[in-house]
Structure 1
Amino acid sequence: MAASIIFLFFAIITLAAGILLRRKHRHRNHRLPPGSLGLPFVGETIQLISAYKSDNPEPFIDQRVNRYGPIFTTHVFGEPTVFSADPETNRFFLLNEGKLFDCSYPGSISNLLGKHSLLLMKGALHKRMHSLTASFANSSIIKDHLLLDIDRLIRLNLDSWSDRVLLMEEAKKITFELTVKQLMSFDPGEWTENLRKEYVLVIEGFFTLPFPLFSTTYRRAIKARRKVAEALTLIVRERRKESETEEGKKNDMLGALLGSGNRFSDEQIVDFMVALLVAGYETTSTIMTLAVKFLTETPLALAQLKEEHDQIRSKKSNSEAPLEWSDYKSMAFTQCVVNETLRVGNIIGGIFRRAMTDINIKGYTIPKGWKVFASFRAVHLNPDHFKDARTFNPWRWQSNTEVTCPTNVYTPFGGGPRRCPGYELARVLLSVFLHRMVTQYSWYPAEEDKLVFFPTTRTQKRYPIIVKRREDYNKLCKAQ
C-alpha cells in the first residue's frame, strides 16, 4: 500500500514536470509577457477567485502590475492568459475583434445562452444583428417611443414600494419588464413574472461547471432554460402567424426579426431574445442599485441630485406628469452620477478574447490559442488616469480632465464591434429611475451591506433599504 502511494506521488510529480517542460519548450521562441503560470492545471485560478470573493479584489491585478508591468501572463480557468491593465493594449484587443481575436466565453454561459445568441455570433451575422439591436436602442427611438414606457413602468413599480425594500430585486423587476416590453410589447403581468423567475435560475448556472451530473445548479439552470425557450417559442410562432397580416405587425424587436427579408428560424430568434433578456436584466439593475448605494454614502452628491430633479418636477403640472426628452437632456449632474457609477461600479470588469494567431504587441508575443483579458476595472481604478480613483466623486466629470479623457481610458460599455448596443438606453433608464427615486422617496439602509465581485458585481444582501414617501419623511423629521 505504501509503495503504491509513493509510486502515485512520483507519477504526479513526473507528469507535472513534463507539463511544465512542454510549456517551456512550446513557447521558447516567444517573448511572452512576464508573469507566472502558477501550479499545473489550476494555475492562479484559486488566487483570482479568492481575491474577487473578498471586499477588495484589486490586489490580484495590482500586485502583478507592480511586479511585472501592465501586461502580464497568468493561468486562470484552465488556460494560459495574458492580462492587460494598459488602455492602449485593451483598445487593440477590442478593435481587432474578428481579425486577430475571437470572442470566448465559458462553456456554461455558451450552453445556457444558446448557439445563436448575440454574444456568440461572429462575422457578418454578428455585425447585422448588432446593428439591428442598436437600432432599437438609439437616441431617436428612445425619445420617440421608449421614454414614456420607461417612465411609466418605473413609476408603476415604485408606487408599490413601502417600508423595507430589497433594492436590487426591485431594480431587476424593472429592467426585466422594460426589456420584455421592448422585445415583445408585453406589459407586466403573471406571464412576465413567471418568465423572470425562470431567468433567475438560468443566470445562476452561468458560473458553474457545465456538467449536469456534478452540478445541481447547472442542472436546474438547463431545465429553466428549456422552460424559457418553450415559452418564447410559443410567442414567436404566434407572432409569425400574425405578421402575415398588416394588422398583426408590431414595432418591436420581435417584429423586426420576423420582418420581410429576414429568414431566421424560431430557434435562432429564441436564442437571440434569451441573450438580450439576460443582458438587460443583470447589468442595468446592478448599476441602478450601485448608484443609489454610492449616493447614499455621499450625502452632498445626493443633495445636489435632488435639487436638480426637484427643479425639473417643479415645472410639471403634477407628480404624475411624464418626463420628456428635454427633461432628460437637462440632467447635467445626473449624467455625472451615471458616469461615476459606471466607472467605480465596473459591472463589466473586462472581457476575454482568444488569439487567432501569434500576435506581437509592445515587444511581446501572445501565442495563438491563448486567451487575453482586457481589464476595464484596472484602468478605471488607476490613479494615473483618475485622481483618487477609488473614491466615488461625480464632480470629477464636471472638469475638463475626465470629460475629455481618451475613449480607451473610459470603457464601461466595452468597445469595438462588440460595444454594448444598449449603452444609451442604459443611461436613460438609470437617469429616469434616479429622477423618480429622489423625487418620490427618502430612504436609508436597513442594514449594513457590502459589494461582492464574484461571480458578478453585486451587493451581498441585495441592498435592503427603508423607504418613506418624501412628504411623510419630511413631516416625521419636523415632528422629531
Structure 2
Amino acid sequence: MAIFVHYLSILLISAVIFLLLRAYRLRLLRLPPGNLGLPFVGETLQLISAYKTENPEPFIDERAKRHGSVFTTHVFGEPTVFSADPETNRFILQNEGKLFECSYPGSISNLLGKHSLLLMKGNLHKRMHSLTMSFANSSIIKDQLLVDIDRLIRLNLDSWTDRILLMEAAKKITFELAVKQLMSFDPGEWSESLRKHYVLVIEGFFTVPLPLFSATYRRAIKARREVAGALSKIVKERREEYEKGERKNDMLGALLGGEWEEDQLSNEQIVDFMVALLVAGYETTSTIMTLAVKFLTQTPLALAQLKEEHDGIRLKKSGSEGLQWSDYKSMPFTQCVINETLRVANIISGVFRRTVTDVNIKGYTIPKGWKVFASFRAVHLDHDHFKDARTFNPWRWKNNNLGTSCSGNFYTPFGGGPRLCPGYELARVEISVFLHHLVTQFSWVPAEEDKLVFFPTTRTQKRFPINLQRRR
C-alpha cells in the first residue's frame, strides 16, 4: 500500500510540474489565451460531451466568451488553436500551401486514401481541383448534367411510399447522381450494393483508427476494401475501352485521358480520387436536402412561398416535361432557402489545418506543427454577424446576396481559398431540382419528433421520418 501511495504521489507531482512548465512555455510563446486541459486528454471529453446538447456550438461559445474569438485548446491528442473570427478564418483559408497545410484525423485519411483530393497538396492538388471544377461548372451542368439530375430525382420520387425516412431517401438520390456523373452508370443493383458499403465507410470517419479497439473502424476498413475493389474493376475495364478508342464524357474518362496522357494516373490514384468524390457528392448534399425540408416544415410561411414559386414554374410545363436551365434560374426564393439552410445547418462546421511554420495572427504566435481549426459554424451563428443568427429566416437573403451588411468573410459554407468546394454549384442545382419536385408532387407532415445533433456531423437523430400525401 505504501508503495502504491508513493508512486501515486510521484505521478501527481509529475503532472503538476508538467502543467506548470507547459503554462510557462505557453506564456513565452504568446499563444492565444485558452486552456490545454488535462495532460494527453486535453479538452477532448468536454468537446464531445458539449455537442450532445441541442446548442449547435456549445464548445466554442463558452470558450470564445471567456477567451475571445481565437483561443487555444487541446483536442484529439494535439494542441489546437480554434478560430471563430472571420478575418482569421479567411487568413487560414487563403494561406493554404504557404503557412498552413490540410490536416485531418487518421481515420478519415485512411478511409479516403492517400490520393484523395482532400489530402492532395501542391501542384497536383491544383490540377485535380481545377479538373473537378471543370466538370461541375454552370455550362457543364446546363448542357450535360441537368437532364439526368431531373430524370433521376423524378424516378426516385415516383417510387416513394406514404412514409419514408427522408435522410435515407435523399442519400439514395445523391449517391445515384454521383455515380452517374462520375462513371455514367444508371441506378441498379451494382450502385445500390456500392452505396451500402459507403454507409459503413462514412460511419468510420470519426472513430479511433485502430481496428483492434474499434469495431466500427474495422467494419469501415472492410467496406472500404469492397468499395475499392468494385471501383478498381470499373477503372480497369474503362482503361481497356479507352485504349481501344472508346471514350465517355464523364469524370472517369477525363481521369483516364485528356491532359493526363503524358503523365497518366495509376488505377490506384483514380480509385482513391473517386472514393473521395463519391463521399463529397453523396453525404453533404443529401443532408442539406433533408434539413432544408425540416426547416421549411417548421416555417410554414417559407414553405408556402416556396410552393408558390415552384407551382408557377410547373404551370408553364406539361406534366412530364423536365426542368430547363431557365427554370433553375427562375428560383430566387429557392436560393434563399438553400443559403439559409447552409448557414444554419453548417454541414461542414469548419476545417482543420496544420501550421508549416510559426504563424503570427492578431498579435499571437501559433507554433510550427500545431493544428488550427477555422470554425465556419461559429461565424454563421454569431449574432454580431447575422441578426437572430440561430433562427431560420430565408428572407434575410432576399435583397442581400450575403444576408448581412458585412463582407463575404462571414459566409463560407463551401470553404474558401485553394480548397473551395469544387462542386458547390452542382450541389445547389441538385437541391433546387429536388425541392421543386418534392413541393409540386407532395405534401407531408413529420411522422414523429426528430431532433438535430451536431457531432460528429450535423444530422437528425431519426433520419427525419415523414408521412407523405401526393398532391392532385
TM-score, structure 2 as length reference: 0.97
1:460 aligned onto 2:461: yes
Identify unmatched segments of 5+ residues in structure 2.
Answer: none
Residues 355 and 371 in structure 1, CA contact (< 8 A), matched pair in contact too: yes
Aligned counterparts of 1:426 and 1:445: Cα–Cα separation in 2 = 25
1:105-143 Cα distance to aligned partner (Å, 9 max, x none)? 000110111110000000000000001111110000000
Identify unmatched segments of 5+ residues in structure 1.
Answer: 472-480
- 1:444 Cα deviation from its structure 2 partner: 0.3
Aligned counterparts of 1:196 and 1:7: Cα–Cα separation in 2 = 56
Residue 255 of structure 2 corresponds to 257
Could you tell me which amino acid in structure 2 is paired with residue 256 of structure 1?
Answer: A
Could you tell me which amino acid in structure 2 is paired with residue 96 of structure 1?
Answer: N
Aligned counterparts of 2:150 and 2:349: Cα–Cα separation in 1 = 29
Could you tell me which amino acid in structure 2 is paired with residue 330 of structure 1?
Answer: S
Residue 154 of structure 2 corresponds to 155
1:303 aligned onto 2:301: no
- The 5-angstrom pairing of residues 275-286 of structure 1 reads 275-286=276-287
Aligned counterparts of 1:8 and 1:293: Cα–Cα separation in 2 = 56
1:71 aligned onto 2:70: yes
Residues 87 and 408 in structure 1, CA contact (< 8 A), matched pair in contact too: yes
Residue 383 of structure 2 corresponds to 383
Aligned counterparts of 2:110 and 2:58: Cα–Cα separation in 1 = 32
Could you tell me which amino acid in structure 1 is paired with residue 417 of structure 2?
Answer: G
Residue 474 of structure 1 corresponds to none
Aligned counterparts of 2:421 and 2:14: Cα–Cα separation in 1 = 43
Could you tell me which amino acid in structure 1 is paired with residue 335 of structure 2?
Answer: Q
1:247-273 Cα distance to aligned partner (Å, 9 max, x none)? x20000000000144210010000000
Aligned counterparts of 2:304 and 2:143: Cα–Cα separation in 1 = 31
Residue 395 of structure 2 corresponds to 395
1:220 aligned onto 2:254: no
How many pairs does the alignment contain? 468
Could you tell me which amino acid in structure 1 is paired with residue 350 of structure 2?
Answer: G
Residue 203 of structure 2 corresponds to 204
Residue 317 of structure 2 corresponds to 316
Residue 328 of structure 1 corresponds to 328
Residue 476 of structure 1 corresponds to none
Identity fraction in percent: 78
Moved more, 184-193 or 65-74: 65-74
Residues 51 and 58 in structure 2, CA contact (< 8 A), matched pair in contact too: no
Residue 181 of structure 1 corresponds to 180
Residue 42 of structure 2 corresponds to 43
Aligned counterparts of 2:377 and 2:206: Cα–Cα separation in 1 = 20
- 1:61 Cα deviation from its structure 2 partner: 1.1
1:216-272 Cα distance to aligned partner (Å, 9 max, x none)? 1111111111111111000000000000133x2000000000014421001000000
1:417-473 Cα distance to aligned partner (Å, 9 max, x none)? 0110000001111100000000000000000000001111100000000011012xx
- 1:18 Cα deviation from its structure 2 partner: 4.1
Residue 8 of structure 1 corresponds to 7
Secondary structure at 2:382 match in 1: coil
Residues 249 and 255 in structure 1, CA contact (< 8 A), matched pair in contact too: yes
Residues 385 and 404 in structure 2, CA contact (< 8 A), matched pair in contact too: no
Residue 87 of structure 1 corresponds to 86
Could you tell me which amino acid in structure 2 is paired with residue 326 of structure 1?
Answer: S
- 1:202 Cα deviation from its structure 2 partner: 0.7
- 1:362 Cα deviation from its structure 2 partner: 0.7
1:341-375 Cα distance to aligned partner (Å, 9 max, x none)? 00001000111111111111111111111111111
- 1:12 Cα deviation from its structure 2 partner: 2.4
Secondary structure at 2:32 match in 1: coil
Residues 70 and 84 in structure 2, CA contact (< 8 A), matched pair in contact too: yes
Could you tell me which amino acid in structure 1 is paired with residue 257 of structure 2?
Answer: G
Aligned counterparts of 2:140 and 2:464: Cα–Cα separation in 1 = 32
Aligned counterparts of 1:404 and 1:383: Cα–Cα separation in 2 = 13
- The 5-angstrom pairing of residues 113-192 of structure 1 reads 113-192=112-191
1:71-126 Cα distance to aligned partner (Å, 9 max, x none)? 11111111111111110000000000010001000001101111100000000000
Residues 355 and 369 in structure 1, CA contact (< 8 A), matched pair in contact too: yes
Moved more, 177-186 or 52-61: 52-61
- 1:213 Cα deviation from its structure 2 partner: 0.8
Residue 268 of structure 1 corresponds to 269
Secondary structure at 1:465 match in 2: strand
1:287 aligned onto 2:305: no
1:42-93 Cα distance to aligned partner (Å, 9 max, x none)? 1111111111122114232112111111111111111111111110000000
Secondary structure at 1:36 match in 2: coil
Aligned counterparts of 1:42 and 1:403: Cα–Cα separation in 2 = 39
Aligned counterparts of 1:323 and 1:183: Cα–Cα separation in 2 = 22
Residues 41 and 76 in structure 2, CA contact (< 8 A), matched pair in contact too: yes
Aligned counterparts of 1:456 and 1:4: Cα–Cα separation in 2 = 46
TM-score, structure 1 as length reference: 0.96
Residues 51 and 57 in structure 1, CA contact (< 8 A), matched pair in contact too: no
- 1:404 Cα deviation from its structure 2 partner: 6.0
Secondary structure at 1:94 match in 2: helix
1:417 aligned onto 2:418: yes
Secondary structure at 2:39 match in 1: coil
Could you tell me which amino acid in structure 2 is paired with residue 129 of structure 1?
Answer: M
Secondary structure at 2:257 match in 1: coil
Could you tell me which amino acid in structure 2 is paired with residue 4 of structure 1?
Answer: I
Aligned counterparts of 1:241 and 1:100: Cα–Cα separation in 2 = 42
Q: Which of structure 1's runs of 4+ aligned residues deviate more than 3 A?
A: 24-28
Could you tell me which amino acid in structure 1 is paired with residue 187 of structure 2?
Answer: P
Aligned counterparts of 1:366 and 1:75: Cα–Cα separation in 2 = 13
Aligned counterparts of 2:205 and 2:17: Cα–Cα separation in 1 = 33
Residues 70 and 81 in structure 2, CA contact (< 8 A), matched pair in contact too: yes
Task: Provide closer, same or farther for how the CA distance between residues 27 and 68 of structure 1 changes in structure 2, counting only shifts above 3 A.
Answer: closer
Aligned counterparts of 1:347 and 1:261: Cα–Cα separation in 2 = 33
- 1:26 Cα deviation from its structure 2 partner: 4.1
